[in-house]
Amino acid sequence: MLRLIFSLSALAAGLACSGAFAAPSVDGPQGVRPAERGALMLAQEGNIDIYHDARGNRVLVDADSGKVIAIQPPGSRLDRRALRRQMRTQELGRAPAEDGDRYYLDNPEDMARFRRRQLEENGRVIPSPADQYDPNSDDNSVDAYPPAPNNDEGYATTYPEEPKSNAIKRQPLSEASIDPEQPGQGEVLQTNPETSLPPNTGGKASVDPSLSLGVRQDVAALQVLLDRGGASPGVIDGRFGSNVDKALAAYNEINGTNLKSTDAVGIQAALAQSGGEPFASYTITPEDVAGPYVASIPEDYSQKAKLDCMCYTSVTEALAERFHMDETYLKSINKGVDFNRPGTMIKVANFGKLVSTPVTRIVADKTKKEVYAYDGSGKLVAAYPATIGSADTPSPTGIHAVSRIALDPNYTYNPNINFKQGQNDKILTVPPGPNGPVGSVWIALDKPTYGIHGTPDPSKIGKTESHGCVRLTNWDARELAKLVSPGVTVEFVGGPAIAEVGGTSTDEFTQQ
């Protein structure tokens, strides 16, 4: 009873201040009437008395103390931020600073408001999440939120834009190829506009011959080192193979080392001591371009005999042989270069100096397909990969001797002694040249029709068969020719012997 009397007294004081009459509400949240739209909500565990005066104001009275907490005009919006500002005003005794742009990281509602504001600034209209149900207000209805824009059919048409894709576009992979080792080497210094045009293939697919699989620059560097050390790998082409393995074994014997193909540090150190970088720059001269050259080398011996010379067919072929390189590999490390233009700088193998120690004994190993050259003390001074005979036309056996040496010889085709080619039944003389049947060198042996000579196909050395003679690359044959003299012994070891199958060599030579 005393509590009721105290509450009525406080209510009378409130009405006197406002000059209005109000109807009391029932205590607790169960009896609180729905608040007017936009009214301020105060949550204090339901210990609130809410009145409405004659002017439509909403009067909030503390049920415990009877103190008027707030008077809300009609139409005021339910806003927790307004309530926080009002409570802050009571705490400070003054109006707080405008905090519409302030967000507190530890306040989930501030963070939600911050995210909604960001979305609105980005043009993405997303309704605010519905607040907890407030029995004192009808602001939880859909009318409390701005409507989403609609199209003519009544469906929302404002959607977030699809984010722009930053995915990396994958380019088709090219075949593995060799790039120039140093800037400026192998690049075009003077270009021909026509060289940039794609070749006319007649509608057929073609592969750039400079592109090759399995080619490695470090292998090419090893091949250069072996060549410098007197152990020829044949053509320098950047490929591992039997010729490289044989050359490495010979290199270690010649130089007294134990170098391995996997010892990159040791290879680099040996290169530095023997002449520096494995590749160097070379400028094409007018003489290089001038030739002489022939358009092609015919297969038929009667057609070969009609040519003025068995010359090179291109500048690239000539330069490849000069620098002990495979022609395709030379092109691959000098992409886009116009080899027919004097003054163009290209990248070439820096194979160093040739062997100069005189040779007194030669061993031709038919099983290993290798030629070994020894000096007077029996020390190995040079080794060369070789093609030595075949099963049908094997090379000689035993010990023989060098009888004569000829550089740039012509070649005599005699079907009565040698093989018969096609319908050619007459003796023919093929002019000299690096593309002749015996290349640019002939080292004759004391056994008739047999000798050590060059080849027009250096890339096939050690991989094909010969007509019974010992076939080397042109540059290896020329080097050996300068090291030997008539009377030097040539010993054939391993493999089948000519005495076992009979026959004679089909490599015949006649010097001009």
Give the DSSP letter of residue 386.
Answer: -
What tens digit of pLDDT does each residue of 363-389 get?
Answer: 999 999 999 999 999 999 999 999 987
What tens digit of pLDDT does each residue of 442-475 get?
Answer: 999 998 888 999 999 999 997 765 556 899 999 9
Report the pLDDT averaged over residues 76-83: 59
17 annotated active-site = no
Question: Alpha carbon 197 to chain centroid distance?
Answer: 25
Alpha helices by DSSP H, listed for 33-94, are 80-92
Whether residue 429 has pLDDT greater than 50: yes
pTM > 0.75: no
Label residue 98 by pLDDT band (50, 70, 90): low
What tens digit of pLDDT does each residue of 249-292 get?
Answer: 999 999 999 999 999 999 999 999 999 999 999 999 999 999 89
Task: List all residues 6 or more positions away from 405 whose beta carbon is below 8 Å from its beta carbon.
Answer: 441, 442, 443, 444, 481, 484, 485, 486
324 annotated active-site = no
Report the pLDDT averaged over residues 418-434: 82
Task: List all residues 6 or more positions away from 446 whose beta carbon is below 8 Å from its beta carbon.
Answer: 400, 401, 402, 403
CA dihedral 256, 460, 218, 179 (to 10 degrees): 150
Q: 344, 357, 383, 384: which is closest to 472 by C-alpha?
A: 384
Q: Provide the token pair at 300.
A: 């038929």
Report the pLDDT averaged over residues 471-484: 96
Residues 52, 324, 453, 467: which is the catalytic one? Answer: 453
Return the half-sphere exposure (C-beta side, CA atoms, 13 A cut-off) of residue 143.
7
Q: Provide the token pair at 76.
A: 């005021």
Q: Token match 């907890």: residue?
A: 132
Task: List all residues 6 or more positions away from 415 whose beta carbon is below 8 Å from its beta carbon.
Answer: 421, 424, 425, 426, 427
Distance CA 190, CA 19 (A): 104
